[in-house]
Amino acid sequence: MGLVGGKVAIVTGATSGIGARTVELFIEEGARVAFTGRRQEEGEAIAARLGPNAVFMRADATLETDWKRVVAETQKRFGRIDCLFNNAGGPAPTGSITSIDVDDFDDAMALLVRSVMLGMKHAGAVMVAQKSGSIVNNASVAAHLAGYSSSMVYGAAKAAVKHLTTCAAMEFGEHNVRVNSVSPGAIATGILAKALGMEAHAADAVAEKMKDGFAKAQPIPRAGLPDDIAQTVLFLASDRASFINATDIVVDGGLIGGKLYSAHQEQLRQTSKALGIR
């Protein structure tokens, strides 16, 4: 039996990238998965490929009515909910804070923060009644430090997700329901291209092209992959993580650890040269 054998999971934002890989991995490891997204064709194709244990439900994670429906249908089909991965997200307004449109700000906060709150509200209530469950929220390295996203709004929203995770963990933990978050670094998906204005389908298609640039961003000399995040989510959802609660796991190859060693050494050499030191 796999790491999540017999468990029932909900994964949002799962028609591409991190979400899609997480659904695949959970199925491989023995779970039954209800997954959501707004792109019907892509979702149905993933479900058809993965078989009867993967069920796609078209839903908008920012809408409470959709959350009520998804949770109710998951319970009706599978009888319980053991895991929730709040992964739905997307780009936020870029540029100076002096130029951000208020409606765009509100839309980004709804997608990145409200969706997480709604998932914990409705799926979390089922888990509390069961006295068991694991919730994983997708945060970001941008939640930890400024300048790690194309959008300061995105960074602020993810910081809110990270702290909301901790707050919910302190409540739900008393009912044996764990709440944690994962903070991805430079992961080769389409989200950056979307933030820069590329249409969603085209952005997903160029994810492979991001790898070369992302490979230079951190000490580990490769780009992060959706599987890196999916594996972390799998662990947090499994019973192997049964004493991990109110924790954020950074999965970034060392991106926010500090200056790259080789670049720092080169800076020291240039400084020594400028000072006439040999």
Kindly tell me if the per-residue pLDDT of 47 is higher than 90.
yes
Kindly tell me if the per-residue pLDDT of 200 is higher than 70.
no
Confidence category of residue 1, pLDDT binned at 50, 70, 90 = confident
- Given this model, what pLDDT does residue 211 score? 82
pLDDT over 70 for what percent of the chain? 93
- Given this model, what pLDDT does residue 127 score? 98
Q: Known catalytic residue: 154?
A: yes
State the angle between helix axes of 152-172 and 115-130 in degrees (0 to 180), rounded to the nearest 10. Answer: 10
- Given this model, what pLDDT does residue 36 score? 98
- Mention every residue, 6+ apart, whose C-beta is less than 8 A from residue 183: 139, 140, 141, 143, 144, 158, 162, 248, 249, 250, 251, 252
- Given this model, what pLDDT does residue 192 score? 64
Q: Which of 35, 148, 154, 172 is catalytic?
A: 154
Kindly tell me if the per-residue pLDDT of 199 is higher than 80.
no
Confidence category of residue 203, pLDDT binned at 50, 70, 90 = low
- Given this model, what pLDDT does residue 176 score? 98
Task: Give tens-digit pLDDT for 107-126.
Answer: 999 999 999 999 999 999 99
- Given this model, what pLDDT does residue 191 score? 62
Domain 8-274 CATH class label: alpha beta
